[in-house]
Amino acid sequence: MVYLDNNATTPLDPSVAEKMAEFLREHFGNPSSLYPIGRAVREIVNNARETIAKALGASRSEIFFTGSGTESDNFAMRGVLNANPEKKHIIISDIEHPAVLRTANYLETKGIEVSYVPVDQYGMIDLDFLSDAVTPQTALVSIMHANNELGTIQPIEEVSKISREQGVLVHTDAVQSFGKISVNVKDLDVDLLSISGHKIYGPKGIGALYIRKGTKISPLIYGGGQEREMRAGTENTIGIVGLGEAVRVMKERWNEDKKQVEKLADKLKKNIEGKIPKVKLNGHETKRIKGTLNYAFPGLEAEAVLLALATKEIYVSTGSACSEDSEEVSHVLSAIGLKPEIARSSIRMSLGRFNTEEDIDVVLRELPEIVENLRKISALDIDEY
Ligand code: PLP
């Protein structure tokens, strides 16, 4: 199998699996219990919190565990609005993940005004639009760090500068950047930041939200006093252990992983562009997560390419995993101005820690032939593009 869909989810790192199995076997205590078996788990949870905090440049008390990246995004947006009811305006970008986009759509139905920052043809946000849109009445600006479909990296430092001048809080969804590029809450100067376990070789169903000390925010889930009264519910201890270990391994392998993914992505990119006529990279040439390669193959339906690759056990994606079963054209590809037929011809390949040179060779052997054969039988005229 050649797995090139690491932006959808990543395989569990063996060391994470081992740590989780060991924890499952040895611990069952409730971290809120005051006797030793509870205290031991409390300490394990807090060690994971410390590891994550350090990796983000935060302090331990600023990290709150959640059930997913999606919950972290909901918590940030709805939590800030609930705590600041006098402010009825938020700003997001046109290419946010549905976790932010649909939350904003929901908030609109509750009387919140939402401004959508447009992006250029490379998926970079329009900072002038943002400057004009943000006012002291804005409750929150939420712009993703790296886009899941294109890999485009947004200038979050600039977003924070512009927002801070108006005294407005900033959230960034760093689910796709954490683990791939440096993510430091001090450098980015954000108030809130979301991460997710299963994008960094950790388990699914665990995420975290960084909340800068002193940020006015309400809980999303009420109940017991877990997570310092901010997120009720007995902690997902096994998920937390997995996330902590995933972050530890990430730091340990940082240079090695980065070098390897970049080397393989460069090879894949150079050869796709060299061997396949009329391919077009969607996204930014340089300000991009290197391992995310989204290409349009004019004249083809991406679904046909995906299925042909799948018969060879090569797994890629046609858009964000969450919209895979939808007939609609990706809102991200529309936002960068692609015609619907070009958007529908686009394939995303996302590389990760466990890809090898051999994987890339297999793709470069199969893909050009698949594209050529499908184009031969395509009713669409590629010379038109
Ligand atoms: N935000 C981005 C940018 C994502 O890519 C994803 C997952 O695809 C999410 C949020 C949602 O994370 P989770 O699957 O943990 O809910």
Ligand 1: atom nearest CA of 196 is: 15
In Å, how far are 83, 95, 205, 220, 342 from 196, measured between CA atoms? Answer: 24, 19, 8, 17, 31
Residues above pLDDT 90, as percent of the chain: 95
Counting beta carbons within 10 angstroms of the beta carbon of residue 346, is it exposed (0 to 12), middle (13 to 18) or buried (19 or more)?
A: buried
8 alpha carbon – ligand 1 mean position (Å)? 8
Atom 7 (ligand 1) nearest CA: 8
322 is catalytic: yes
pLDDT tens digits, 14-72: 999 999 999 999 999 999 999 999 999 999 999 999 999 999 999 999 999 999 999 99
How far apart are alpha carbons 377 and 130 in whole angstroms?
A: 45
Mean pLDDT of 313-342: 82
Q: Which of 167, 7, 205 is nearest to 87 (CA)?
A: 167
Enter the pTM of the model.
0.97
124 alpha carbon – ligand 1 mean position (Å)? 19
Decide if pLDDT at 322 tops 50. Answer: no
pLDDT tens digits, 55-68: 999 999 999 999 99
Q: What H or E segment, with its residue span, contains residue 36? A: helix 36-56
71 alpha carbon – ligand 1 mean position (Å)? 9
Ligand 1: atom nearest CA of 99 is: 10
Ligand 1: atom nearest CA of 148 is: 5
Give the pLDDT of residue 221.
Answer: 97
208 alpha carbon – ligand 1 mean position (Å)? 12
pLDDT tens digits, 364-383: 999 999 999 999 988 776 76
pLDDT tens digits, 183-218: 999 999 999 999 999 999 999 999 999 999 999 999
Are the C-beta atoms of residues 235 and 31 closer than 8 Å to each other?
yes
Q: Which residues line ligand 1 (CB under 6 A)?
A: 68-70, 97, 99, 144, 148, 173, 175-176, 196, 198, 207, 321
Give the pLDDT of residue 385.
Answer: 63
Mean pLDDT of 338-367: 97
Confidence category of residue 384, pLDDT binned at 50, 70, 90: low
Catalytic residue among 40, 133, 322, 380: 322
**Ligand 1, pocket-test mutation among 7, 156, 199, 320, most atoms within 8 A of CB:** 199
Residue 123 C-alpha from the chain's centroid:
15
DSSP 306: H
**Ligand 1, pocket-test mutation among 10, 65, 70, most atoms within 8 A of CB:** 70
Give the pLDDT of residue 328.
Answer: 77
Residues above pLDDT 70, as percent of the chain: 96
Tell me the pLDDT of the chain averaged across its residues: 96
pLDDT tens digits, 268-302: 999 999 999 999 999 999 999 999 999 999 999 99
195 alpha carbon – ligand 1 mean position (Å)? 8
pLDDT tens digits, 297-307: 999 999 999 99
